[in-house]
Amino acid sequence: MTNEDCALKFVQFLHPGKEYILTNDEISAGEKEWNYGAHFRKFIKTKGRYMKGGQEVDADELLFWGEWEPESIVEKRCSNTGWIHKPILRLSPNGDFNAPPTKLLSGKIENRRNTDPYVFGDDGFLYTLCRQVNKKGHRTKMSYLAKGSIIVFGSNVNQRQNFAVDTVFVVQDYKDYDAGTDETPLDGFAPPLYKELMGMAIGECRGELRCYKGATPHNPINGMYSFTPCKLSKSTKENTFFERPILTASDMQSLHLSVQPSKPLIADRMNTNFKSTANLTIDDMKNIWDRLCEILLKEDFLAGTHFEYELI
């Protein structure tokens, strides 16, 4: 193990933030098919759990912005934006995906897209692939994060310069693996069907990678756990969506850290890629996490800790 393997870091992670535009066929069918194109976000309604008074509470319907690349039922059109999605996964009678591994798009073969980060795990969020390997096939800093690191996933949306957050990921555990050589690289670490959801069998997820498991309220690290800002469906005006909470550089200033970083923790004018801050202690991470909770969990936003999808 090298020093890089143990790098405790705070990471601002930019991924595509636009919402899907449905085709006329998908609108008529009331279902968004498995995604074979660029990554987007979905405004999702599903059962799950959230934190209240220091305890997890079951909810029949939570609303949140997230990534779910398999099929989804298009429940209704929001009055002020696109669509509300119900996440589903269609399996054949023998338990295989109905979605083929590849599909002909614009004259070329495309792989179905993976869901990363994955907030539907029974025992913690998972992050496996995105930006862990560069175009030359070399591992990046994202594949060398230590336990206790925090990744804030979000997007620059609607041409704004601010950072719209969808997931706060606290690393509780990880497993290094080679997605290209091992048929079952994450058995016992990730839930059933995860390998298929990530496309490991079809080459979408390949190379030497690190699968990170997020801390949970039942298995925290230094009092921290992963969460997705969400709202109760019953507390949200019917047929109306909400914007993702915004995090700015000024929000993360004046923190009591062991060493003040030379640059702000959050960059307001990032569009892609990621920004990491090192030389932090585990107590620094807790101070940062507390501030994230303070900023992101306002205006009826709740800390969603588990979300479900339906097998069909």
Strand 42-52 relative to strand 83-89: parallel, antiparallel, unpaired?
parallel
Instruction: Report whether 282 contacts 222 (CB < 8 A).
Output: yes
Q: Which domain holds residue 83?
A: 4-311
Would the pLDDT of 6 be above 80? Answer: no
Q: What pLDDT shows up at residue 307?
A: 97
Mean pLDDT of all residues in 114-139:
89
| Strand, helix or coil for residue 25 | helix
Under the banding of pLDDT at 50, 70 and 90, the label for residue 5 is low
Q: What pLDDT shows up at residue 159?
A: 59
Mean pLDDT of all residues in 63-77:
90
Task: Identify the residue with better confidence: 216 or 22.
Answer: 216
Name the one residue in this structure whose structure tokens are 């968004």: 32
Beta strands (DSSP E) in the chain are 10-14, 31-32, 42-52, 55-66, 72-77, 83-89, 102-105, 108-111, 126-127, 150-155, 163-178, 208-214, 228-232, 246-247, 274-277, 302-307, 310-311
Q: What pLDDT shows up at residue 112?
A: 87
Mean pLDDT of all residues in 226-231:
97
What type of residue sits at position 99? A
Would the pLDDT of 116 be above 70? Answer: yes
Task: Report which of 160, 135, 153 is spatially closest to residue 39, judged by C-alpha positions.
Answer: 153
The pLDDT tens digits for 32-43 are 999 988 899 999
| Cα(306)–Cα(223) distance, integer angstroms | 17
Task: Identify the residue with better confidence: 179 or 204.
Answer: 179
Q: What pLDDT shows up at residue 181?
A: 62
Give 204's DSSP letter: S
Under the banding of pLDDT at 50, 70 and 90, the label for residue 238 is low
Mean pLDDT of all residues in 128-149:
89
Task: Report which of 157, 120, 105 is spatially closest to residue 44, judged by C-alpha positions.
Answer: 120
Q: What pLDDT shows up at residue 101?
A: 81
The percent of residues above 70 in pLDDT, for the chain, comes to: 90
Instruction: Report whether 39 contacts 113 (CB < 8 A).
Output: yes
Name the one residue in this structure whose structure tokens are 């907030």: 119
Mean pLDDT of all residues in 119-128:
91
Task: Identify the residue with better confidence: 123 or 288.
Answer: 288
Strand partners, 221: 224
Strand partners, 127: 212
Task: Report which of 311, 309, 308 is spatially closest to residue 48, judged by C-alpha positions.
Answer: 308
Rg (CA), the chain: 19
For the chain, how many structural domains are there in total? 1
For 268-283, b/e burial (b = at least 16 CB within 10 A) is bebeeebbbbeebeee
Q: What pLDDT shows up at residue 80?
A: 58
Model's pTM, two decimal places?
A: 0.93
Helix (H) or strand (E) run with residue 285 in it: helix 282-296
| Cα(45)–Cα(231) distance, integer angstroms | 10
Q: What pLDDT shows up at residue 69?
A: 94
